[in-house]
Structure 1
Amino acid sequence: MSRILPQVNFIVFLVYLSAVIYLFAYKTPTPERNLCVSIVLCFALWSFCEAHAHLSPTPERALMWFSISSFGWIIFPLPVLFFYLAVTRGIKPNFKALLVLSFLCFFLITAQWRGDLINEVARGPFGWVAFWANSPAFHLFVIYYSTILFFCAFLALKFWLNAEERRQRAQGKILFFTVVAGFFVGTFSDVVAPMFEIFQVPPVACLAGLIWLAGMVPAVTKYGLLSLELGYFKDLYERLFEFTPDPLALLDERGIFLSANQAMINSLGQKKR
């Protein structure tokens, strides 16, 4: 059993890497696309290092790989936050907020290398089990990532409930459920289970990113997430669409109307709902 998890981690690393290549090759280079790439790269680094950690022959080597992986599992909430702000609110990253959160990430990474986060490992049925130190740095880390992910869930939920178009409602629903599911799966497997010595649960937090990535596939390919009408370009797109004198409409692949501007509504003799 101890060989299965490293192999799964490495396969997932290849999946993350493929997703990065796809985003670079086929998606328009918007800031949202770049933030999405940053998130996936964090999970890729995390999975790659965890694969090596579970294959390590000694606890010292395993702890070293867990510490290297901290660059992934500590930094990833940062691009997640700015990604959700971009696609749900069209808000650009604030320099002061970015600076403060980057400093917090630096502090937490150094805390990991000092042994104030993961400070001990032991052999379990699925490989090395990482144990958390009962330290202020650990509690700060839990507050840091929990607050960001819950705030992202709130942004997605609000976007979902307030969206007027079916496509945007689908985007909001996917953004909400994937971040919530990933949070609970990762927290239970990598934080709660080791604390209560539930060794039958494999540490799969880095694999929980697949939940989010699996949601991004239909969100991007079917519902147009990361397209130019979202995020920073949303206001400009909506103004151009609404006030163009020519009739314009967006239809899905089945020919069903997703949205129409005022000129199209007037030409059809309908009223805007």
Structure 2
Amino acid sequence: MSKILYVFSLITCILYLQVGLYTYKLNSKSKICKLFFLLNILLSIWSFAFSFEYLAESSFDISFWYKLSSVGWCSFASITLYLVLNLTKNKFLNYFFVKFLVVLPAFVTMFINIFFIDPSVTASGFFPSIISILDFSYNFIYLLLSIILIYFWGKKSLKLKEKKQARLIFISSVISFLLNLSVQTILPAFGIHTVHDSGQFCALVMVLGVCYAIKRYQFLRVPSSLITEELLTEIMDLTFIVDTDGNITNVNKKIKDILGYDSNVLTNTSILDIIKEKSIENLLVDIDNLKNTIRFNKITIFSSYGESIPFSISVTPLIDSITKELLSILIVGHDMRIVENLQNEIKKHNLTSEKLKKSNEKIEHINNKLLETNTILKEKACRDGLTNLYNHQHINELLKLELIKANRSKGALSLMMLDIDFFKVVNDNFGHQIGDKVLVTLGNLINSKVDKIGISGRYGGEEFIILLPNLDLDKAYEIANDIRVSIGQLKFEIDDLNITVSIGVCQYDLKETSTLLINRADNLLYKAKKNGRNRVEK
């Protein structure tokens, strides 16, 4: 039985590590992801140590593995509660003493178990009983409180996505909680003993539930930095970028001119603080179903002076072209006082229908401009900001589409991976601005060479990728050599700056995955590096 538990506990340890790493990679900048990753690390330590404790025979081995495992199980309840407080955006986290109280029991119980508890010795008396009761109470109360917070978070939320997230996490947490309580406390109270110290197995249910909620409903936010200052400047009307919670993340300079607000004053405040309209509030409640631009002919917006100003506004969802997830919403407002003054002038001076027509053309021009801006935003989302080639994510999606086409037509498809030789030396000797210039120049050259026959992208750093549909390996090899020679002939008007590249070229084998195809090209690229650089390997 001990060997079975040993194997099962090791498998559990590996699962925790995989789940933690997978979630962390989804958004490494997210505090929730970092906390969930830490929780999985602690659970993996718990499982790893217990796997060896199950097989330990000497009192020293039993004590060592027990004390190591206490790092995991003593911290589990505190980190879980802290994670839930962050996930539910609990206002009590603003107070330092609350954070202190959340993590304090973890350190206290860990200290006691490491320095005062010896599992190899059967203890009896008042002190061990008190320690056992305190440990049970700490874990029971913290985990139960976490479940309650998740329940009320979902119940109070007005957003369907958050309700689904909360329901999934709540159900998996309750199952994990009740399973652990039954195995560790309730069944032993009735004389039914199952697996001793099996909490690390029960916690797996909750962790998998949280992981699925992260993957399925993507409650990790995409940063609003995708919307550049350049684009905001181009829009001449009042403009807000609002996140999916309804908070303002960015504004343009017209805010100061028209409403009198400084941009830093409005950042992170609710859009409903200045647009107090029921229609906008209802739109934010049902924001997950916002798929197309919605226009409002007359909406009142309050200035910093308390003045109510009429605007016609458009609300445009900014949607990721690959994942189809809503990133933010773009609210553009046109000051209706101009239109109202124009209408008054029409009535006063009995303007002709021609002036009315021009007014309509002006409004139509504004609408067309909004549509053009939305097109620019969508295009920016799939382009590399420096070279303007397709970015890593988008080129991978295009590769998958090309593989589907190649499988259907049984036609040829070649792939090229290109890397600048000694690029770090360029940055170190000439500076990063020159390094950026080299990347832009190479990107332009590559694009000019394959623009009509293939697709080019920046794969990362100084590495580029080129897809060549309907071209076999020999033809792709010729194009690669042409690119390599052309790059070697580039002049940058800087002494001693000569750029060469190494290239790996391979042809797609039918039914091969995109990952395997890229790995083959990558291996050939490194072969070119190994064989002296400034060469093509196929």
TM-score, normalising length from structure 2?
0.41
Matched, 1:11 2:19: no
**Distance in 2, Cα, partners of 1:141 & 1:194:** 17
- Deviation sequence 1:179-233 (CA, Å, 0-9, x none): 222222223323445565533346421012211121123211111133358xxxx
Worse-matched range after superposition: 4-13 or 101-110: 101-110
1:160 aligned residue: 154
1:139 aligned residue: 133
Matched, 1:41 2:41: yes
Give the structure with higher Rg (CA): 2
What SS class does the counterpart of residue 29 from structure 1 fall into? coil
Deviation of 1:235 after TM superposition, in Å, equals 8.3
Matched, 1:214 2:208: yes
Aligned length, in residue pairs:
249
- Deviation sequence 1:245-264 (CA, Å, 0-9, x none): 541448899xx999997979
What SS class does the counterpart of residue 247 from structure 1 fall into? strand
1:126 aligned residue: none
1:198 aligned residue: 192
1:267 aligned residue: none
Closer/same/farther in 2, CA of residues 170 and 85 from structure 1, 3 Å limit: same
Give 5+ residue unaligned stretches, structure 2: 224-241, 250-269, 276-312, 333-538
Q: Is the 8 A contact 1:30 1:228 kept in 2?
A: no
Alignment of 1:241-260 (within 5 A): 243=271, 245-249=313-317
**Amino acid in structure 2 at the alignment position of 1:55:** L
Worse-matched range after superposition: 238-247 or 155-164: 238-247
1:63 aligned residue: 63
**Distance in 1, Cα, partners of 2:221 & 2:118:** 39
Q: Is the 8 A contact 1:81 1:148 kept in 2?
A: yes
**Distance in 2, Cα, partners of 1:138 & 1:89:** 32
Matched, 1:81 2:149: no
**Distance in 2, Cα, partners of 1:226 & 1:79:** 19
Closer/same/farther in 2, CA of residues 120 and 98 from structure 1, 3 Å limit: farther
**Amino acid in structure 2 at the alignment position of 1:33:** C
1:238 aligned residue: 246
Closer/same/farther in 2, CA of residues 102 and 172 from structure 1, 3 Å limit: closer
**Distance in 1, Cα, partners of 2:94 & 2:75:** 15
Deviation of 1:169 after TM superposition, in Å, equals 0.6
Q: Is the 8 A contact 1:117 1:137 kept in 2?
A: no
What SS class does the counterpart of residue 222 from structure 1 fall into? helix
**Distance in 2, Cα, partners of 1:27 & 1:177:** 24
Choose the corresponding residue for 1:226, options 210, 220, 223: 220
What SS class does the counterpart of residue 89 from structure 1 fall into? coil
TM-score, normalising length from structure 1?
0.76
What SS class does the counterpart of residue 178 from structure 1 fall into? helix
Give 5+ residue unaligned stretches, structure 1: 122-132, 265-273
Closer/same/farther in 2, CA of residues 257 and 54 from structure 1, 3 Å limit: closer
Q: Is the 8 A contact 1:186 1:208 kept in 2?
A: yes
Q: CA RMSD in A?
A: 3.7
Structure that is richer in strand per residue:
2
Which is bigger in relative contact order (C-alpha 8 A, separation at least 6)?
Answer: 1
- Deviation sequence 1:94-145 (CA, Å, 0-9, x none): 4323334444322212322355595757xxxxxxxxxxx8521221111111
**Amino acid in structure 1 at the alignment position of 2:35:** L
Closer/same/farther in 2, CA of residues 117 and 145 from structure 1, 3 Å limit: farther
Closer/same/farther in 2, CA of residues 250 and 4 from structure 1, 3 Å limit: farther
**Distance in 1, Cα, partners of 2:169 & 2:202:** 14
Q: Is the 8 A contact 1:156 1:175 kept in 2?
A: yes
Identity %: 19
Q: Is the 8 A contact 2:244 2:327 kept in 1?
A: no
Runs of 4+ in 1 over 6 A off after TM superposition: 250-253, 256-264
Worse-matched range after superposition: 135-144 or 39-48: 135-144
Structure that is richer in helix per residue:
1
**Amino acid in structure 2 at the alignment position of 1:95:** F
**Amino acid in structure 2 at the alignment position of 1:79:** I
What SS class does the counterpart of residue 198 from structure 1 fall into? coil
